A and B are shown apart, each in its own frame.
Chain A
Amino acid sequence: MYAQMIQSEASQDDPQKLAEFQARIDADIKIEPRDWMPEGYRKTLIRQIGQHAHSEIVGQLPEGNWITRAPTLERKMILLAKVQDEAGHGLYLYCAAETLGVSRDDLTEQLLSGKMKYSSIFNYPTLTWADIGAVGWLVDGAAIMNQVPLQRTSYGPYSRAMIRICKEESFHQRQGFDIMMKMAQGSEAQRRMAQDALNRFWYPSLMMFGPSDADSVHSTQNMAWKIKMNTNDELRQKFVDQTVPQAEFLGLTVPDETLSWNEEKGGYDFSEPDWSEFFDVLKGNGPCNTERLEARNKAWDDGAWVREGLLAHAEKKRARKTAAE
């Protein structure tokens, strides 16, 4: 997901306080910034929300790659509005993280130095216009699986950010599917393009949920804290079950020969992605890791004089006002 492989931090806290804290979470009472919270909860949340925020702004890049090449004025506006939303979602999430006592600049520095991660999916290239359809349909489709339950997460500011994000995000997946429909019903070249996009994005989309974590202690702790709402396998299964019929509707073939309906479990059996590829991408060896971080670093470095200039002006204005009083 946008926050993959989040390890939980252990806490050395007063057992009485811990028990009260857990009771609040169990009773679905939100934890707010000034409330007592275990240090492990705070640190884990910073890591998770930060990684989610980074994913949003790095996620601007593969889709932004096609804004200047969108094929119609309407598609251009839709794509621009969508990528702009991602900047907004990054902003909401950074603000949620800031309530936990970390600054946006700190988080940004950690992204730029490679110390903090972002979702593996954004290290894959968007080569054709059909990829923009596939990203909306599959990547946003997978993200929504995770984000909808996170609206109920225990941390108030995170939950509120997710509610806002889900509301705005509702058009993202549909615009992707809409692009895929046009391609699938289009010329021979467009159909081939659509199938090619599905072939390349299918397994990376399944990887978004992360490896199986049914037996992970981190996962168990994070679920008890309600900062993770489902296991990775549950969400992946749900995604496959939802997506396969959509692919059939488009007349496209999911690139998995073992894919079959399992009547007994009421879901599809499917092949696991290549997890060694996933770990390679996380280590920095995905097709676009270098380009993505270079682009973020360049924007940050090139923008330094702007951030400093506008702040200097604000300080001058304040000083002038004070002097006049």
Chain B
Amino acid sequence: MSKEWPLWEIFIRGQHGLSHRHVGSLHAPDAEMAIKNARDVYTRRNEGVSIWVVEANHIAASAPSEKGPLYEPSESKIYRHPTFYDIPDDVGHM
């Protein structure tokens, strides 16, 4: 079996000025492609966002304590939203 593309952790800052936030991971051959993949997978090309990618095995993480507290860490196309579909009230909740 051929080698797998490395895993990248994806951090995105949205338009509202909040700091970059971990949104998930993906595979890519290098950092440049990871950024492009992140754009396609996690932002659906929303304008004005900033993307950070970090290769997963470069992340140093604190060790969880046994009982300790938890370490908690798009503008989409309109048809992706439920309100796009006009479902009559009689149908009930969907």
Direct contact between A and B judged by beta carbons closer than 8 A: yes
What is A's interface to B at a CB cutoff of 8 Å?
A: 20, 24, 29-30, 32, 34-36, 74, 77-78, 81, 85, 88, 91-92, 95, 98, 103-105, 109, 156, 160-161, 164, 168, 170-171, 173-175, 177-178, 181, 242, 245-246, 249, 304, 307-308, 310-311, 313-314, 317-318
* Chain B positions within 8 Å of A178 at CB level: 85-87
Task: Give the total number of A-B pairs whose CB atoms are below 8 A apart.
Answer: 93
**Known contacts A34-B61, A105-B4, A246-B92: A174-B82 contact under CB 8 Å:** yes
Pair B2/A308 contact, Cβ less than 8 Å: yes
* Chain A positions within 8 Å of B29 at CB level: 310-311, 313-314
User: Besides A98-B25, A171-B85, A307-B5, 19 other CB < 8 A contacts?
Assistant: A24-B67, A29-B70, A32-B70, A34-B63, A34-B64, A35-B64, A88-B41, A91-B41, A103-B4, A160-B24, A171-B79, A171-B82, A171-B84, A249-B88, A249-B90, A304-B2, A310-B33, A311-B3, A318-B30
Interface of B is mostly: loop
Pair A104/B70 contact, Cβ less than 8 Å: no
Pair A81/B79 contact, Cβ less than 8 Å: yes
* Chain B positions within 8 Å of A171 at CB level: 79-82, 84-85
* Chain A positions within 8 Å of B27 at CB level: 104
Distance (whole angstroms) from the CB of B45 to the closest CB of chain A? 13
**A1, B86: Cα distance in complex, Å:** 28
Contact pick for A30, options B5, B70, B94, CB 8 Å:
B70
Pair A177/B91 contact, Cβ less than 8 Å: yes
Query: What residue in chain B is nearest A313 (Cβ atoms)?
Result: B29
**B7 proximal to A (CB < 8 A):** yes
* Chain B positions within 8 Å of A181 at CB level: 87
**Known contacts A88-B41, A109-B1: A98-B7 contact under CB 8 Å:** yes
**A174, B86: Cα distance in complex, Å:** 9
Mark contacts of B67-80 with chain A using CB atoms, 8 A cut-off: 1 yes-contact digit, 0 otherwise: 10011000001011
**A168, B70: Cα distance in complex, Å:** 26
**Known contacts A77-B77, A98-B7: A105-B94 contact under CB 8 Å:** no
Most chain A CB inside 10 Å of its own CB: which residue of B2, B3, B94: B94
* Chain A positions within 8 Å of B54 at CB level: none
**B26 proximal to A (CB < 8 A):** yes
Most chain B CB inside 10 Å of its own CB: which residue of A85, A105, A304, A308: A105
Most chain B CB inside 10 Å of its own CB: which residue of A85, A91, A171: A171
**A24, B65: Cα distance in complex, Å:** 13
Pair A177/B24 contact, Cβ less than 8 Å: no
Query: What residue in chain A is nearest B23 (Cβ atoms)?
Result: A164
Distance (whole angstroms) from the CB of A192 to the closest CB of chain B? 22
Contact pick for B94, options A29, A85, A173, CB 8 Å:
A173
Pair A91/B1 contact, Cβ less than 8 Å: no
Pair A20/B67 contact, Cβ less than 8 Å: yes
**A318, B79: Cα distance in complex, Å:** 41
Pair B91/A249 contact, Cβ less than 8 Å: yes
Pair A164/B70 contact, Cβ less than 8 Å: no
Mark contacts of B12-49 with chain A using CB atoms, 8 A cut-off: 1 yes-contact digit, 0 otherwise: 00000000000011110110010000000100000000
* Chain B positions within 8 Å of A164 at CB level: 24
Pair A175/B64 contact, Cβ less than 8 Å: no
* Chain A positions within 8 Å of B77 at CB level: 77, 81
**A15, B49: Cα distance in complex, Å:** 48
**A215, B35: Cα distance in complex, Å:** 48
